[in-house]
Structure 1
Amino acid sequence: MHTDLVAALDIGGTKIAGALVDGDGALLVRAQRPTPARDGAEAVMGAVGDVLAELRASSLWARAGAMGIGSAGPVDASAGTVSPVNVPGWRGFPLVDRVTEATGGLPVVLIGDGVAMTAAEHWLGAARGYDNALCLVVSTGVGGGLVLGGKLHPGPTGNAGHIGHICVDLDGDLCPCGARGCVERIASGPNIARRALDGGWLPGPDGDSTAASVAASARAGDLVAIASYERAAQALAAGIAATATLAEIDIAVIGGGVAGAGEVLFAPLRRFLRDYATLSFVQQLRVAPAVMGTDAGLVGAAAAAWTSGVWGTGAGAGAGAKGVPAGALR
């Protein structure tokens, strides 16, 4: 049997998604379950097991040569464990061992969800064709990942590129991570909304006080809402410029719910980047919205499996396994 597919899992605080993915990034078989995040470690693993069982029931399963997992973090790829902030029952949970067992010995590659999004955008999305890229997920938190020298750079534990916890305000607010003035503490959706409310912004008649509602007010000209997004954009620009200066990044791709604000976010972000990315080798830095959408986690997990070196090495690998997909996956 040719092993010309990979299996993928995207594990978050609200859903666990799975797919069988081909070398062009097409999701051929899908499965999904809600995440029972408050119900304990084994309940969550049970949902993962249900997703895997549904994938294994497909006639295409035998063609899978590896499993890629993108998980909410922190993750520790070196230990094969996960401790997602939004899944309290999993602390140091041995996810790689458990998934290896549940798949009958399929080789498993674990990365954080920000790195997974990065892998997807580099393979098929806005960062395609760029050898050095930073991709960000700006949502409830701020995560990210790096492509360096044309290859995904997850780092030893799978967390490299976690821009959300770069300090951009030395005496800023205390972040839940324990540091002060982190990008996430300023630019995440909940903090955009918090800052607007603190400044006197009032939600509309529907009571919606999310960052998306703040963005709608900003588009309508509300000065407090505009100021909150400007502050978020400034924090993101400072973090992106610092990363670009350190690693010579060519493009920063921004996804996640906050990126849905469009030019409310991107216009001030580009303006602030001119203030922070001042050295000659970062002045051409591009900023672009992500394009992979809700499938980014699965596509990115699959990309990590394709490029990891473990693909096709498991117990069921056939001698006829085809090569790693061409193109942006290198």
Structure 2
Amino acid sequence: MSTTEPDATATQSWRWPESQWRRHVEAVRAGRPLKPERWPDGARVAVALSFDSDHETIPLRDGHTSPGLLAQGEYGARVGAPRVLDLLARFGAPATFFMPAVSALLHPDEARSYTRDGHEIAVHGWIHERNTLLGAEDEKALVGRALDTLTDLTGQRPTGIRTPSWDFSDSTLRTILDLGFSYDSSLMADDEPYEILAAGRPTGLVEIPVDWIRDDAPYFTMDRYGAVRPHSRPRDVLEIWTDEFDAAYRSGGVFQLTLHPHVIGHRSRLIVLRELLDHIAGHPGVWFATHAELAQAVRAAIPPHEIPEHTS
């Protein structure tokens, strides 16, 4: 049973004994904060840009194969990703691209361009599957296959993962540890990186937290057959993200952003991303880092003798 799928008595959770609700809450928990006293080269703020290169895998995951839906994803590979890479190059900003393996197999040159241009490629599932609906063996098999696929295509073995559903099943944490990842970027318990606890025990796994506030999809997603409609003007979203960065800058923390080439890559939206990067680059002491570089920097806050060893 997945941690995110309620059992038959979930509607009567008020009947649960304390041991039961504590077990659910403590299964995966935020541990010690990992923000260092200072960032590399004396930087004041760390900026971690990420792009989920989902492309066609969203409709494919759900068994939808109409050319119209697939074309929306194809836009991300054909138009969005090249525009994003050009913009990042203009600012000299490395980023992390979380890419489903099927997306990488459909667009191998794109996957290789990420690492060739100095960016990081990281795991984002096999076909953007909903991992919370999978059994433990299937989930581990798909993540392992995705890890091997990205390694074979790019020659760079990913060290990080973002679950496609931004959530953990009962087996996700064990899978991540068994496969040797050094960080995850799927959870939302803090603004700053932290160590993940498993049932109260330190795991040594770094969490680089995300949040829907700092994601383009909730603001701009469109479903022609459903009620989901873009509800935000791009410049309104720019104001939110600018405020998020400014607060991170004042506190000396991390500004983490999650974008999608097929969403942010449209012209009116790319303009606000450029203006956001102009704003960020106009501040002294900004460290643009991949998620892997950020994880390495904050991992120093964990004494070596306290980092658990994990075996399959």
Same fold (TM over 0.5): no
TM-score normalised by length of structure 2:
0.28
Structure with greater helix share of residues: 2
Structure with greater strand share of residues: 1
**Which structure's relative contact order is higher, taking Cα pairs within 8 Å and 6+ residues apart?**
2
TM-score normalised by length of structure 1:
0.27
